[in-house]
Amino acid sequence: MEHTRNTYHIIMSISKTRQKLVDVARQLFARNGLENTTMNDIAQASGKGRRTLYTYFSSKEDIYYAVIEGELERLSDKLDEVAARNVRPQDKIIELIYTHLSMIKETVVRNGNLRAAFFRNIWMVEKVRKHFDEDEIELFRKVYTDGKREGEFDIDNVELVADITHYCIKGLEVPYICGRLGHGITPEASKPLVAKVVYGALGKNTNKNSDSARQD
């Protein structure tokens, strides 16, 4: 029992140390930029020393990957929160789309000078976000499956539509971050317009309620 407790404390200590290094690195990257931050800077700012830093990360690129992973985990947690809400699939899919875009923008903006590295090293980011992308596509599949079962969506191939949705949103990230998407329109004002496009693509039965009313 004592051995188990000791092992647990060691694991927790390792996890906290690693997270501390990642948090410090993110702050330095955001303030100074990726290229202007060195491993020495991270070691000194963290108070952990070079030896400890290199125990966890072999290079600045490794810790950069860890920073991006941490940011994507924040986004993934938020999407999971939206997906768990007890709302209709037609509402949930719109909220997932806007949550994705708004969280990506918030992540890039809050990281200051890391923003340039995000765009310049987009393929590095792609390498890290592979698992996030897969998880998001799975969320879309579930929402579309629920919507199809409930008669809200007319979808022949749920997996294909989930893939298309994900990659369409991904393609909108840079324009959304740079403010080139719906210039001058607030997110709330744009939602009905976006919903119309999305529902049209999903074959949403917009006359479902009115048909029921006529039958009554």
Confidence of residue 7 (pLDDT cuts 50, 70, 90): very low
Look at residue 180 and tell me whether its pLDDT is greater than 60: yes
Domain 1-58 fold is: Arc Repressor Mutant, subunit A (1.10.10)
Structure tokens at 49: 């020393």
pLDDT of residue 34: 84
Mean pLDDT of 76-85: 95
CATH hierarchy code of domain 61-206: 1.10.357.10
pLDDT of residue 141: 97
Mind listing the pLDDT tens digit for each residue in 84-136?
999 999 999 999 999 999 998 888 887 776 666 665 666 677 777 888 999 99
Q: Average per-residue pLDDT in the chain? A: 83
Least Cα distance to 67 among 127, 100, 12, 27 occurs for 27
Domains of the chain by residue range? 1-58, 61-206
* Rg from Cα positions in the chain: 22
Structure tokens at 59: 């290079």
pLDDT of residue 2: 47
Confidence of residue 175 (pLDDT cuts 50, 70, 90): confident
Structure tokens at 143: 């929402």
pLDDT of residue 178: 81
Mind listing the pLDDT tens digit for each residue in 145-156?
999 999 999 999
Confidence of residue 52 (pLDDT cuts 50, 70, 90): very high
Distance (Å, rounded) from C-alpha 112 to C-alpha 92? 31
pLDDT of residue 10: 41
Look at residue 207 and tell me whether its pLDDT is greater than 80: no
| CA 162 and chain centroid, separation | 16
pTM score: 0.78
Q: What percent of the chain has pLDDT over 90?
A: 46
**Contact of 178 with 195, CB cutoff 8 Å:** no
pLDDT of residue 71: 87
Mean pLDDT of 69-88: 93
